[in-house]
Structure 1
């Protein structure tokens, strides 16, 4: 028993040192003004500048690679990774799925954040949406209605509807975040409401109708109604989560 405590302390110390090294590498990227796609110094240069061994450096690089900060191109070297939220998406998807086995608390939180984001920004989208984008939204709503009438799911159409609705804001971070939340939402939704083919099947007509109503509220530029409809849309999803948790 006496020998386990020192080993634990060594392990914690190693983790802290690794965390400090990853922070130093990120500081180096920022201090040198590197951008996505720019190459990092070679391993030899980094080990010398940071005062660490090659194996320790490689451990830190693996961590940064998992975080989406650094990209390894075999035969070419290390580069600052392009802007993406893949690591965040994977982490949130895992936590959302795991929470479904434990009353769905984190899944509720994820849907709540997406609800607040979309309902809060739809007014800004209304200000800049043009007639062509409105026609595209309406066409997507029609497709949802047609598929709902035939008992067919329309997950991809739904995703495109929400992407298009906010793409007019030309906010890359927002687009990426919505993509992350959609990926998480889709995983959760398929877990709580699937048919034999694995596609969400419940409430197709209701879902199609609320998207149609959102389009109409956007067309007449009724920001309060559009926000209310978006809230209602996600309230339905949260109700499904609650029902699933009670059955689990």
Structure 2
């Protein structure tokens, strides 16, 4: 029996079933086990299993056919902008071209955000970035804490750009960026904050070109982290 430790049982069940599907245990077109069997496997009620199936349906992962069962849909039908789906594919080594898509989206949006931030940041913005960078240096060996603060550093840059639509677009991918970073972050990098220091320095002196260059270098390192994580294989899920 699979032991569930989180209180949000439908979400936890859906996450574990999604991982099983991403791993290929249930290929496209295959029916998931009956509600009774899954309830026994996870040690929960049939209501929880039913709610978990609805969550997976909302992500495009399964199709619920009344009276027949719950069937896995083809990969292209999945909502691949959903953070949980992306992480399942990443852990299963099936992120494929989506990894490059993530990098390209970040370069298209964040590089320009950095340039705008350098042009428009005020002293309060710069002080907030400095505080976050100091905290990043303190937590460099603590993956969850580091990624949380590093993500906040990037959000502060988006805000300093003072472009409402650009910030909206970046925020729509925010959770995906953070969760993928948490999975691939490797604190064995020689100096994981070197590009962040360059970003802050460029923004402080209002050098837009240098800020864009530093952001592009930071995102390229993110691309390397994804590549190396895929080469290493699956990462265990972090709490």
TM-score of the aligned structures, taking structure 1 as reference length: 0.54
Over residues 88-129 of structure 1, what are the superposed CA-to-partner deviations in whole Å (9 max), with x where a residue is unaligned? 786355146415522632122112211221102222222221
* Structure 1 unmatched runs, 5+: 1-61, 68-87, 194-199
Larger radius of gyration: 1
**Residue of structure 1 equivalent to 2:19:** none
1:216 matches 2:206: no
Distance 2:82 2:142 in 1: 30
Alignment of 1:11-30 (within 5 A): none
**Residue of structure 1 equivalent to 2:89:** 98
> Cα–Cα, structure 1 residues 246 and 230, in superposed 2: closer, same or farther, change >3 Å?
same
> Cα–Cα, structure 1 residues 169 and 224, in superposed 2: closer, same or farther, change >3 Å?
closer
Distance 1:94 1:171 in 2: 29
Report if aligned partners of 1:122, 1:227 keep a CA contact under 8 Å in 2.
Answer: yes
Report if aligned partners of 1:111, 1:185 keep a CA contact under 8 Å in 2.
Answer: no
Report if aligned partners of 2:116, 2:161 keep a CA contact under 8 Å in 1.
Answer: yes
**Residue of structure 2 equivalent to 1:115:** 107
Count residues with an aligned counterpart: 155
TM-score of the aligned structures, taking structure 2 as reference length: 0.55
**Residue of structure 1 equivalent to 2:172:** 180
SS across alignment from 2:191? helix
* Structure 2 unmatched runs, 5+: 1-53, 60-78, 234-239
Report if aligned partners of 2:113, 2:157 keep a CA contact under 8 Å in 1.
Answer: no
Report if aligned partners of 1:107, 1:188 keep a CA contact under 8 Å in 2.
Answer: no
